[in-house]
């Protein structure tokens, strides 16, 4: 019987192609077009008029499938593995902030966002921040400390958002959470990762990626046996 680590290693080495990701490979452009509902009132082909809510709902499914497809290709280095999560988080944030969409859909996006953010931050702290703390780069250490603080702040706002029942209160929390996380992702990518890259010995990078993906797999709540940690469950 294979261990979890062996399974993850296999996922890193081989290109996993699921039926779902093979079937659906929507581009950003497709998602944008699907979301732009007001000017295209007639359904293509059959000439029937689609309701606004129907078109918006399809737009979200396209976005969710797009996030799933992100994880179908193997990560070649640690930063690109982390950036896949970041890209997924940014796509869900767009839906959460979109007041044109029904609340149910924005909450559904928030649920997927929360699941992804929780497993991302756990994996990032244990498999990335922790080993990098021991490096003697003062600027990197400060960036890592900032990262911990921002993770904790996002956790707090996310917990309050999940408790909010009133739409305006939920929206206020979602907006603050979105700003906080967008700022955090930008700062990691622009300031922390360039410093971190200089500190990662090439021979250790495969182990770091495997540790990161293992932790993602063990903490991700919306997974299947096939994808082992890859977000692709959208109910
Ligand atoms: Fe982070
Ligand atoms: Fe991150």
Task: Give mean pLDDT in consecutive 10-residue pieces for the chain, a chain of 235 residues.
Answer: 48 40 40 38 42 57 78 80 93 93 92 90 93 85 96 96 95 97 98 92 86 80 45 36
First vs last Cα of the chain: how many Å apart? 31
pLDDT value of position 135: 74
How much distance in Å is there from the Cα of 207 to the middle of ligand 2? 18
pLDDT value of position 94: 93
Q: Are 6 and 203 in contact (CB under 8 A)?
A: no
How much distance in Å is there from the Cα of 129 to the middle of ligand 2? 10
How much distance in Å is there from the Cα of 106 to the middle of ligand 2? 22
Domains and CATH numbers, the chain: 15-35+50-219 (1.20.120)
Tallying the residues shown for the chain, one arrives at 235
pLDDT value of position 44: 40
Ranges of H-type helices in 71-192 = 78-97, 103-124, 130-133, 138-163, 167-187
Q: Are 65 and 26 in contact (CB under 8 A)?
A: yes
How much distance in Å is there from the Cα of 1 to the middle of ligand 1? 34
pLDDT value of position 224: 43
Helix (H, G, I), strand (E, B) or coil at 207: helix
**Tokens encoding 60:** 């979200």
């Amino acid at each position: 019987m294979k261990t979890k680590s062996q399974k993850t290693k296999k996922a890193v080495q081989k290109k996993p192609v699921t039926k779902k990701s093979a079937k659906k490979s929507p581009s950003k452009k497709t998602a944008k077009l699907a979301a732009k509902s007001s000017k295209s009132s007639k359904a293509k082909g059959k000439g029937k008029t689609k309701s606004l809510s129907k078109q918006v709902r399809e737009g979200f499914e396209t976005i969710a499938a797009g996030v799933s497809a992100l994880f179908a290709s193997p990560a070649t280095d640690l930063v690109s593995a982390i950036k896949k999560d970041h890209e997924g988080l940014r796509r869900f944030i767009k839906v959460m902030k979109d007041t044109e969409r029904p609340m149910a859909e924005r909450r559904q996006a928030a649920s997927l966002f929360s699941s992804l953010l929780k497993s991302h931050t756990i994996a990032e702290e244990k498999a990335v921040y922790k080993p990098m703390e021991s490096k003697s780069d003062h600027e990197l250490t400060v960036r890592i400390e900032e990262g911990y603080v921002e993770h904790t702040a996002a956790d707090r706002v996310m917990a309050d958002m999940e408790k909010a029942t009133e739409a305006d209160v939920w929206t206020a929390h979602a907006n603050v959470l979105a700003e906080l996380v967008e700022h955090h992702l930008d700062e990691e990518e622009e300031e922390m990762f360039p410093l971190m890259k200089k500190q990662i010995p090439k021979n250790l990078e495969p182990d770091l990626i495997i540790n990161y993906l293992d932790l993602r797999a063990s903490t991700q709540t919306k997974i299947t046996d096939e994808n082992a940690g890859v977000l692709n469950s959208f109910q």
